């Protein structure tokens, strides 16, 4: 009996000790999950998890927009021990992320992205603010000056010609034709290689690794390892997300390194295409970037330019189905400027204000980075009576900004006309900027020192494709299959949102126009062959 009692006492002591260890391990997270003093209002936080139990796995920006009605345009949240602030008004975004950019330009640590997939700050999007990021940013901006962008206009033009002709030949794959275009332009611009079809190995490899990368970063795809850091130490055989991350790392590095090495080998043979990677290699020492950072800068330019532009163009097609009157207005404009004997060119874009309005409207209506990309505060700051501790993460909620009913008439509707008549922001006629105020037409490109360097390049690609599509084609719903334009059910939510594949009837407006598109494609065969050499 004494032995049994001794055993029970030992087990009880072990249980108490284990409980004490668990409490000691969780205590810092429980304490840190409490809201700081003078933090913005928000829903009540629970011990340990904060507000994580309230956050949906997809499209949290929709919920944050709804919370604005209850908590106001500055919402304070707790993601476990992490302080998070959601900015739902562009004025606060401009005041903090733009005007105080020296404080708000870092990125929060992302264990999966920064350490497992892209270690050593190789991914400019996720890299913290510092010398490495500054060197990458400077090199990227040097590639995207007006002079450099003028040099890739022939590529954008030629690939848009093929895209329009591909839609004549196989209209059922218009979704893939658009994805081919956006990747082909970047592939040729950055690496001097051709992506002649959606099934090309390089295009398939890029979309494969990129889709897996963004899927793994989506909330719920992995445990909250950034907020509850001890989860990082789960053994790999119990953590499939670790195995996925390491495979993405291998595949991503192999693709980007191969494209880099092929460019370098071509240069050593004395063959140059004028692509961006050639300039990066020539200026590598000047840029203070080693091989790995140069390789990844080229790869990231390619991944950033492909997914975002294709999502926007496919959203444009949805907008045309949603508002057939807008399609008619766009067709009337390109017909007046271009006639029926040729399709629009890049030189026509300055004379097509309705096409420009269509671009601005689709960027407002369905912003690609709808939830914003996180900015991290580098030192404690105060604003409007609130105190933001160092390390607080800020999101500019683009979805909320672009759907503000007090500023936009019927914001849920696709209406290009709102941008006409000199209205640079598409807002209600009585909305005026206060003295000293500055705002952007779209917040989907980011803000402050982290704003997208490739915005002008992407906008040119969007406009030329919109112009060619409306010149060449009628767009109609497939009978019995209305498109789902809802952001909540018709879009896939991830780091970048994009419309789910949808049925669309795309037919040439006439046989003559189809012949024009074929003739223009045939006339550029020499150009395409030059890119493929």
Please state the domain count of the chain. 1
Q: Would residue 418 count as lying in a domain?
A: yes
CA distance 330 to 317: 13
Q: Would residue 33 count as lying in a domain?
A: no
- Render pLDDT for 40-50 as a digit per residue (tens, 0 to 9): 999 999 988 89
Phi, psi of 63 (to 5 degrees): -65, -40
Residue 498: pLDDT over 80? yes
CA distance 395 to 387: 16
Q: What is the DSSP letter of 445?
A: T
CA distance 114 to 107: 10
Residue 4: pLDDT over 60? no
Give me the percent of the chain exceeding a pLDDT of 70: 93
State which residues form the domain around 400: 38-532
pLDDT for the residue 308: 87
358 a known binding residue?
Answer: no
Give me the percent of the chain exceeding a pLDDT of 90: 81
Q: Would residue 303 count as lying in a domain?
A: yes
- Render pLDDT for 215-234 as a digit per residue (tens, 0 to 9): 888 777 888 888 778 889 99
Choose among 461, 466, 482, 470: nearest CA to 507. 470
Note whether 367 and 443 are within 8 A (CB).
yes
Choose among 73, 106, 108: nearest CA to 92. 73
Mean pLDDT of 65-94: 96
Q: Would residue 21 count as lying in a domain?
A: no
Determine the Cα angle at 444 with ends 439 and 447, to 5°. 55
Q: Would residue 494 count as lying in a domain?
A: yes
pTM across the whole model = 0.91
Q: Would residue 527 count as lying in a domain?
A: yes
Q: Would residue 162 count as lying in a domain?
A: yes
- Render pLDDT for 139-189 as a digit per residue (tens, 0 to 9): 999 999 999 999 999 999 999 999 999 999 999 999 999 999 999 999 999
Mean pLDDT of 1-27: 44
Mean pLDDT of 98-110: 96
Query: Which SS3 state, helix, strand or coil, does residue 454 take?
Result: coil
CA distance 27 to 197: 55
Q: Would residue 7 count as lying in a domain?
A: no
CA distance 122 to 242: 19
Q: What is the CATH number of the domain that holds 486?
A: 1.10.630.10
Burial class (CB in 10 A: 0-12, 13-18, 19+), 231: middle
Burial class (CB in 10 A: 0-12, 13-18, 19+), 252: buried
pLDDT for the residue 24: 47
């Amino acid at each position: 009996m004494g032995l049994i009692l001794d055993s029970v006492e030992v087990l009880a002591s072990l249980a108490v000790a284990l409980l004490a260890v668990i409490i000691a391990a969780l205590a810092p997270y429980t304490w840190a999950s409490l809201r700081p003093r003078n933090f913005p209002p928000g829903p009540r936080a629970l011990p340990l998890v904060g507000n994580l139990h309230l956050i949906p796995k997809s499209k949290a920006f929709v919920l944050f927009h709804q919370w604005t009605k209850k908590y106001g345009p500055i919402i304070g949240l707790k993601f476990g021990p992490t302080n998070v602030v959601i900015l739902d008004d562009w004025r606060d975004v401009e005041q903090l992320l733009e005007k105080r950019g020296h404080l708000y330009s870092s990125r929060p640590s992302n264990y999966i992205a920064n350490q497992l997939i892209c270690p050593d700050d190789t991914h400019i999007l996720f890299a913290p603010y510092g010398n490495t990021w500054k060197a990458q940013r400077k090199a990227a901006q040097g590639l995207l000056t007006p002079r450099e962008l003028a040099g890739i206009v022939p590529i954008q033009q030629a690939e848009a010609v093929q895209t329009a002709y591909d839609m004549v030949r196989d209209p059922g794959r218009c979704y893939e034709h658009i994805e081919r275009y956006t990747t082909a332009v970047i592939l040729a611009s950055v690496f001097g290689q051709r992506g002649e079809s959606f099934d090309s190995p390089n295009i398939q490899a890029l979309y494969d690794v990129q889709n897996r990368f963004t899927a793994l970063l989506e909330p719920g795809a992995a445990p909250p390892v950034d907020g509850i850091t001890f989860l990082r130490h789960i053994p790999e055989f119990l953590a499939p997300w670790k195995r996925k991350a390491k495979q993405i790392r291998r595949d991503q590095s192999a693709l980007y390194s191969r494209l880099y090495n092929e460019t370098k080998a071509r240069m050593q043979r004395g063959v140059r295409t004028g692509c961006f990677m050639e300039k990066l290699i020539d200026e590598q020492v000047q840029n203070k970037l080693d091989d790995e950072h140069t390789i990844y800068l080229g790869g990231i330019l390619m991944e950033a330019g492909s997914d975002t532009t294709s999502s926007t163009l496919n959203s444009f097609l949805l907008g045309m189905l949603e508002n057939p009157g807008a399609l008619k207005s766009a067709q009337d404009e390109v017909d007046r400027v271009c006639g029926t004997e040729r399709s629009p060119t890049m030189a026509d874009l300055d004379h097509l204000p309705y096409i420009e309005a269509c671009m601005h409207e689709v960027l407002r209506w369905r912003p690609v980075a709808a939830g914003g990309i996180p900015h991290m505060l580098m030192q404690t700051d105060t604003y409007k009576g609130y105190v933001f501790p160092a390390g607080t993460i800020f999101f500019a909620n683009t979805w909320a900004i672009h759907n503000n009913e007090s500023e936009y008439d019927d914001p849920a509707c696709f209406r290009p006309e709102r941008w006409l008549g000199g209205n640079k922001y598409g807002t209600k006629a009585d909305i005026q900027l206060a003295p000293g105020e500055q705002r952007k037409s779209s917040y989907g490109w980011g803000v402050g020192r982290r704003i997208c360097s490739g915005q002008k390049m992407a906008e040119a690609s969007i406009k030329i494709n919109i112009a060619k599509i409306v010149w060449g084609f009628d767009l109609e719903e497939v009978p019995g299959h209305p498109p789902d334009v809802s952001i909540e059910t018709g879009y896939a939510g991830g780091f970048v949102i994009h419309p789910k594949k949808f049925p669309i009837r795309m037919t040439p407006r006439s046989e003559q126009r189809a012949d024009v598109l074929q003739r223009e494609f045939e006339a550029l065969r020499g150009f395409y062959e030059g890119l493929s050499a």
